[in-house]
Amino acid sequence: MKDTLDILHRFSAHPDSRCWYVAWHPKGTLLASCGGDRTIRIWGKEGDNWECKCVLSDGHQRTVRKVAWSPCGNYLASASFDATTCIWKRKNDDFECLTVLEGHENEVKCVSWAPSGNLLATCSRDKSVWIWEVDEEDEYECVSVVNSHTQDVKHVVWHPNQELLASASYDNKVCIYKEEDDDWECRATLEGHTSTVWSLSFDLEGQRLASCGDDRTVKIWKECTSEEDSADGAWTCVCTLSGFHDRTVYDVAWCHLTGALATACGDDGVRVFKEDAAADPKHPVFYLSAHVPKAHSQDVNCVAWHPQESGLLATCSDNGEIAIWKYQSDI
């Protein structure tokens, strides 16, 4: 059997605007999307169709760039070009805006929850990364502002099981942060991309980090072990996927169920890569397993693997639509 990526559903999510991002609820029962129409939409499957359960339209004044579910699934955070981050609390099939996080000088480009649910990270065009602490009363306090990048920060993502944070920037770099003496600091700077780094994704164990960018490559970084005589917290590039994408790679997602790597590209392509099991783990090799060259009619902005169902992939595009795919592999 050949590896395949087959379309299951396709629907208009944000008519007449870009759909920037999609995020699965931790249980996989809902899908949140956001777009240029300033709204967040919550989708659920009814029978064979996807239906909009809720539209959150009163939180932001400009484009909503990213959404992120809390690990418990009861909260949704949204990052907007209006320089704010909204925290929404789920109440049955409805959501209320619990609080608005302010402080960034410009557009907030991304928001991400730590695995504990007690920390939240935001990043902005103002070149900063903010760490927020959440208490039991749902109060949010900024506990650290880190200025390790020299340009617009595009993306932040937490390590899957440690309080370690990674950020990607227009300055071509990836930064890794850790808390030291009650303050957050940059522990490692990953250099290798020759243009803007758009997105990041950790593997299941958090031992490797995938990055993608404007230079049309995907890079795989591995944390150095103490035996490798490297500085504490250092990361090294162990693999570069080049020659596969014709335009900017906007998003990368590592499937924690199968180990497959998906990418969203400005050439309208959705690609899935698999790791060669026969290769040396110190020098991993990834090959193109499946490719849909005309996934949408415009740029593909996001790829998101379902957290519970193996091989289920959601994508979204500049044309405002969401597509749901089924990836099947012969291995």
Task: Tell whether 184 is covered by a domain.
Answer: yes
pLDDT beneath 70: ranges in the chain:
1, 226-232, 331
| pTM listed for this prediction | 0.95
- For the CA atoms of the chain, what is the radius of gyration? 19
Structural domain count of the chain:
1
Task: Tell whether 270 is covered by a domain.
Answer: no
Query: What Cα–Cα distance (Å) separates residue 282 from each residue in 197, 235, 285?
Result: 24, 13, 10
Give the CATH number for residue 146. Answer: 2.130.10.10
- Predicted local confidence at residue 181, as pLDDT: 86
Task: Tell whether 235 is covered by a domain.
Answer: yes
Neighbours of 299 (CB within 10 A): 19
Task: Tell whether 187 is covered by a domain.
Answer: yes
Task: Tell whether 302 is covered by a domain.
Answer: no
Task: Tell whether 130 is covered by a domain.
Answer: yes
Query: What Cα–Cα distance (Å) separates residue 298 from each residue in 65, 68, 293, 295, 318?
Result: 17, 24, 11, 8, 6
Q: Which helix (H) or strand (E) holds 144?
A: strand 140-146
SS3 content of the chain, % helix, strand, coil (to 5): 0, 55, 45
Tens digit of pLDDT for each residue in 14-32?
998 999 999 999 999 999 9
Distance between CA atoms of residues 33 and 137, nearest Å: 27
174: containing domain: 16-252
Task: Tell whether 279 is covered by a domain.
Answer: no
- Predicted local confidence at residue 1, as pLDDT: 52
- Predicted local confidence at residue 226, as pLDDT: 62
Q: Which structure tokens are listed for 252?
A: 């990368």
Task: Tell whether 120 is covered by a domain.
Answer: yes
Classify residue 224 by its DSSP letter.
Answer: P
